C-alpha cells in the first residue's frame, strides 16, 4: 500500500480540499511516459469513484496501468484489475517484473484483445480505461461483449490520442444520451489530455459539477491543482533522469581522470627511463671521447719518436764514419751469403 506520509512535491502549496489524499501520493513506478503527468488525476479518480473492477484496453508503456494498480491496492477493498494489451508488441520484461512483484494478487496482464472469460462470473466493470494503443477494430467487441458488462455508474477514461479517436467516437455513439463527459487538460506540452465519460449520475459532487458545469470554480481549482501535481511528478522524474545522467557523467569524468593520472605516471616513468638512458649514452660518449683523445696523443708521441729516429738515421748515414766503413759492411754481407 502506498505510504500516505510521503506527499508529492508541492502538495503544501495546493489549497484544494476536494483533492483528498491520494492525489498527493508519490507514484511507486515513475518512468518516462507521456502519461506520467496524469498520475495524480488517476489517483484522484480512483479515490473519488472507488471502482472495484477496472479494465484497461491497451497497455502502452504500462505507467498509467501500474498507477491505477497502486491506487486500487491502497483505496479499494478486494479489487480486480485486468489489462488487455491488444496483442501489439512484446512488453518489456521490467514492466512484467514490476507488475508481478507488486500487483499479481489482484491484477492480470492479458495478451490480445478483450476476453469476457477473464472477468469472473457476472462481475461488472466500474472503470474502463481505453489506452493509447487500443485498436479501432475493438469497437465491435466493445459493443457486443464489454458494454453489457459495465456497471450502471461506470466511468470510461480515454487517453486523448489520435490512435483511438475512432474507438472513442464509436463508444460515444453507443452510449448515446446516457453519458456525461469530463475533460482533463494536459499537464504539459506534448502530453495527451484525457476524457472521462460518466454513465448515470456520479455520487461525487465534484465530478457531477465537472460534467454539468466545466467552468465551476471548485472543479477549475481541482483541475488546476491536479495539473500542478502532474507537472511536479513529471519535473521530479526529469530531475531523477538528469541526476542519473549527471552521476554517469561524473563516473566517466572520474574514470577519465584516473586514466589521465595513469598516463601522467606512465609518462613520468618513461621520462625517467629516457633520462637514465640519455645519461648512460652521454657517459659512454664521454668515455669514447676521452679514449680518442688519449689515442690521438699516443699517435702524436709515436710520430714524434719516428721523426726523431729518422733524423738520427739520416745523421748517421751522412756522417764520415759511415762512409769509411762502407767497404767493410759490403764484405760482411758477402760473408753472410756464403
309 found inside a domain: no
Q: Is residue 255 part of a domain?
A: no
Query: Distance between CA 132 and CA 58 in Å, rounded?
Result: 7
Sheet holding 194-199: strands in order across?
107-110, 80-84, 53-57, 125-130, 150-159, 194-199, 179-184
181 alpha-carbon distance from chain centroid: 38
Instruction: State the pLDDT at residue 11.
Output: 42
Q: Helix axis angle, 93-103 relative to 63-75, nearest 10°? A: 0
Structural contact between residues 126 and 149, judged by C-beta atoms closer than 8 angstroms: no
Q: What is the pLDDT of residues 150-180, one digit of tens each?
A: 888 888 888 754 445 555 565 666 565 556 7
For residue range 178-191, list pLDDT tens digits in order.
Answer: 567 776 666 555 55
Residues 170-191 as b or e (16 or more Cβ within 10 Å = b): bbeeebeeebbebebebbeeeb
Read off the pLDDT of residues 107-155 as tens digits, 9 standing for 90 and up. 999 887 777 778 888 889 999 998 755 455 556 667 677 778 888 888 8
Q: Is 123 helix (H, G, I), strand (E, B) or coil?
A: coil
What per-residue confidence (pLDDT) applies to 4? Answer: 43
Please measure the distance between the N-terminal and C-terminal CA atoms of the chain and give it in whole angstroms: 138
pLDDT over 60 at 5, yes or no:
no
For 20, phi then psi, to 5°, come to 70, -155
Cα four-point dihedral sign 231, 237, 240, 244: negative
Would you report the helix, strand and coil content of the chain in percent, each value rounded to 5? 60, 15, 25
Domain range enclosing 165: 11-248
In this predicted structure, what is the pLDDT of residue 137? Answer: 58
Question: What confidence tens digit (pLDDT) does each residue in 229-275 have?
Answer: 888 888 887 887 788 888 888 888 888 888 888 888 888 888 888 88
**Which pLDDT does position 82 carry in this prediction?**
93
Q: Is residue 280 part of a domain?
A: no
Q: Is the pLDDT of residue 7 over 60?
A: no
- Match 495524480 to its residue by C-alpha cell: 40
* Bridge partner list, 107: 81
The answer on pLDDT for 10 being more than 70 is no
d(CA 24, CA 121): 35
pLDDT classification of 322: cutoffs 50, 70, 90: low
What CATH number should be reported for the domain holding residue 179?
A: 3.40.50.150
Residue 310's pLDDT is 83
Look at 285 and 54; give whichever has higher pLDDT.
Answer: 54
Asked, for residue 82, whether it belongs to a domain, the answer is: yes
Kindly indicate the confidence band of residue 290, based on its pLDDT and cuts at 50, 70 and 90. Answer: confident
Q: How far apart are the C-alpha atoms of 92 and 94, rounded to whole Å?
A: 5
pLDDT of residue 54: 94
Answer yes or no: is pLDDT of 89 > 60.
no
- Is the pLDDT confidence value at 31 over 90? no
Residue 148 lies in a domain: yes
Looking at the predicted structure, is the pLDDT value of residue 6 above 50?
A: no
Decide if pLDDT at 105 tops 90. Answer: yes
Q: Say which DSSP state 25 is in.
A: B
- Quick check: is 60 in a domain? yes
pLDDT at 216: 79
Model confidence at 289: pLDDT above 50: yes
What was the pLDDT predicted at 9?
Answer: 43
* 199 vs 320 pLDDT, higher one: 199
- pLDDT given at position 96: 85
Report percent pLDDT > 90 for the chain: 17
Taking the C-alpha atoms of residue 93 and residue 91, their distance in angstroms, rounded to an integer, is: 6
CA distances from 124 to 118, 153, 196 (A): 12, 10, 18
Structural domain includes residue 171: yes
Classified as helix, coil or strand, 181 is strand
Question: What pLDDT does 78 receive?
Answer: 92
More confident residue, 215 or 264: 264
Query: Is residue 291 one of the residues assigned to a domain?
Result: no
Position 228 pLDDT exceeds 70: yes
> In the chain, how many domains are there?
1
Amino acid at each position: 500500500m502506498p505510504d500516505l506520509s510521503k506527499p508529492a512535491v508541492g502538495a503544501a502549496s495546493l489549497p484544494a480540499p476536494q483533492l483528498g489524499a491520494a492525489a498527493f501520493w508519490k507514484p511507486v513506478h515513475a518512468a518516462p511516459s507521456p502519461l506520467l503527468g496524469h498520475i495524480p488525476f488517476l489517483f484522484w479518480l480512483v479515490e473519488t469513484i472507488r471502482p472495484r473492477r477496472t479494465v484497461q484496453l491497451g497497455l502502452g508503456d504500462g505507467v498509467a496501468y501500474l498507477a491505477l494498480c497502486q491506487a486500487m491496492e491502497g483505496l479499494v477493498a478486494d479489487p480486480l484489475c485486468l489489462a488487455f494489451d491488444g496483442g501489439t508488441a512484446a512488453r518489456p520484461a521490467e514492466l512484467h517484473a514490476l507488475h508481478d512483484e507488486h500487483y499479481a494478487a489482484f491484477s492480470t496482464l492479458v495478451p490480445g484483445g478483450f476476453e469476457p472469460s477473464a472477468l469472473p462470473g457476472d462481475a461488472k466493470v466500474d472503470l474502463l480505461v481505453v489506452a493509447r494503443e487500443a485498436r479501432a477494430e475493438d469497437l465491435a467487441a466493445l459493443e457486443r461483449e464489454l458494454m453489457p458488462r459495465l456497471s450502471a455508474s461506470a466511468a470510461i477514461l480515454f487517453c486523448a490520442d489520435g490512435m483511438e479517436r475512432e474507438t472513442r467516437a464509436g463508444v460515444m455513439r453507443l452510449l448515446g444520451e446516457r453519458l456525461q463527459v469530463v475533460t482533463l487538460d494536459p499537464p504539459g506540452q506534448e502530453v495527451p489530455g484525457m476524457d472521462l465519460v460518466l454513465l448515470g449520475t456520479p455520487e461525487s459532487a465534484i465530478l457531477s459539477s465537472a460534467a454539468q458545469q466545466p467552468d465551476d470554480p471548485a472543479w477549475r481549482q481541482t483541475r488546476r491543482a491536479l495539473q500542478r501535481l502532474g507537472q511536479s511528478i513529471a519535473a521530479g522524474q526529469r530531475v531523477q533522469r538528469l541526476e542519473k545522467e549527471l552521476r554517469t557523467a561524473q563516473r566517466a569524468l572520474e574514470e577519465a581522470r584516473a586514466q589521465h593520472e595513469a598516463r601522467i605516471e606512465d609518462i613520468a616513468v618513461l621520462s625517467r627511463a629516457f633520462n637514465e638512458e640519455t645519461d648512460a649514452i652521454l657517459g659512454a660518449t664521454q668515455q669514447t671521447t676521452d679514449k680518442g683523445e688519449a689515442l690521438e696523443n699516443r699517435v702524436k708521441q709515436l710520430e714524434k719518436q719516428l721523426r726523431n729516429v729518422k733524423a738520427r738515421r739520416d745523421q748517421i748515414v751522412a756522417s764520415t764514419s759511415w762512409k769509411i766503413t762502407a767497404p767493410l759492411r759490403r764484405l760482411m754481407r758477402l760473408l753472410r751469403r756464403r
